[in-house]
Structure 1
Amino acid sequence: MEDVMGTQGIRVLGIGGTTRQNSSSERALRVAAAAATEAGASVELITSADLVLPLYDPEKPDRSDRAVALVAALREADALLISSPGYHGTVSGMVKNALDYVEDLRNDDRSYLSGLPVGCIAVAYGWQASVSTLQTLRTCAHALRGWPTPMGAALNASMPGLFDRTTGACADESARFQLETVGRQIVDFATARMETVRELDATHA
């Protein structure tokens, strides 16, 4: 788990990548997360090994330490970034399993991802898989009552020089624009929602 502090009081949780550290989907997540940090949010990332969880079983209440940490981070988040590789044209099993743990929030005052802006990122070796994976992520966000941002990022990892091998920075201007826009939009949406809630609370005080 990694934390980067911000200034706006917005807490962003970023999850994704693969079992391999510094995969293309993890690098994409970090680019979007950096844009969210620049926009003033505090960012926590759960990636690679920390996202390897037991298969979600709603019938068994016991949770591993990693699963407990994930659910706690989801509960505290004001916005969510999800970055998945495209495996066989859809979301990876690791990322889908992590999203299944959102079910543990069903009885919270804020059930599932209700009201949370969700930035969706898909990275695959080809446009067809990246686009279909992105669509699946957006569908999952809707099903969990989240608000997918207008911009979703679909990246083709087969493009040469997509990420700098040394720094991990996104070297492709179009891809970087998508990722940074997603990162900024979740902060903008979360800030607007927080301000609306404060105004409503003041009205009913």
Structure 2
Amino acid sequence: MTRKPLIVGIGGTIRAGSSSEKALVRALARAEALGAETRLLGGEFLGGLPIFDPRPGDVGPSQQALAEAVRAADGIIVASPGYHGSISGVIKNALDTLEVTRDDARPYLTGRPVGAIISADGWQAAGTTLMALRAIIHALRGWPTPFGAALNSGGAGFDGAGLPRDPKDAWQLDTVAEQVMEFARMTADARTSA
């Protein structure tokens, strides 16, 4: 790959400083350290995204911005809180909005590595939410990374600088970013040589 890969982060909650958005920022920082250009579509962006309407009609500016970011992405990292055993509504709405790419040559998440990060108050919610997100990534034709991060936000959490207090959490987030980068480079190289 001769250019920097673009890794797009989609995640967080509408609450500023959420643990899922902090986790996503940490993973994107690792991707940058590995040579990526990154773009964050965090909680503030997601909170302003209209509810996806599948009927034919106009695509709003924020929906278009999401679609364009995903179209340009070499890899994606999605971070969601675990709400009642599954992903949050704002994350599901963002992923549903990718339906506007259905007629693209490379629709949805096709051919892109997608890292999954879950932050939940308890291990059971983290595990079930991670499984749900990975199933959605598959349905959108993405390639989930072999490792998905499941953080127990009821545990150590993040310090004032937004860094994970638990070294295991930092390792998980770095591993997700590293795998997205590795797959992004491999798929870009394969497209270039084809």
**TM-score (norm: length of structure 1):** 0.91
> CA RMSD of the aligned region, Å?
1.1
Match for residue 181 of structure 1 among 175, 179, 182: 175
Report the number of matched residues. Answer: 192
Q: Which residue of 2 aligns with 1:37?
A: 32
Assess if the C-alpha contact under 8 Å between 1:8 and 1:40 holds in 2: no
Post-superposition shift, 1:29?
0.4
The equivalences for 1:2-151 within 5 A come to 8-52=3-47, 53-151=49-147
Q: Percent identity?
A: 46
CA contact (8 A) 1:91 1:133 kept: yes
Q: Secondary structure at the match of 2:9?
A: strand
Deviations along 1:163-198, one digit per CA (max 9) or x if unpaired, are 10x201111111110100101110110101111111
Write the letter of the residue equivalent to 2:36. A
Shift >6 Å, 4+ stretches: none
Tell me the distance in 2 between the aligned counterparts of 1:107 and 1:88: 33
TM-score (norm 2): 0.96
Q: Secondary structure at the match of 2:126?
A: helix
Residue 60 of structure 1 deviates from its aligned partner by: 3.9
Q: Distance in 1 between matches of 2:123 and 2:140?
A: 26
1:84/1:92 contact within 8 Å kept: yes
Distance (Å, rounded) in 2 between the aligned partners of 1:81 and 1:114: 14
* Partners of 1:125 and 1:156 within 8 A in 2: yes
Distance 2:70 2:83 in 1: 24
Q: Please, which runs of 5 or more residues in structure 1 have no aligned partner? A: 1-6, 201-205
SS at match of 2:158: coil
Secondary structure at the counterpart of residue 82 of structure 2: strand
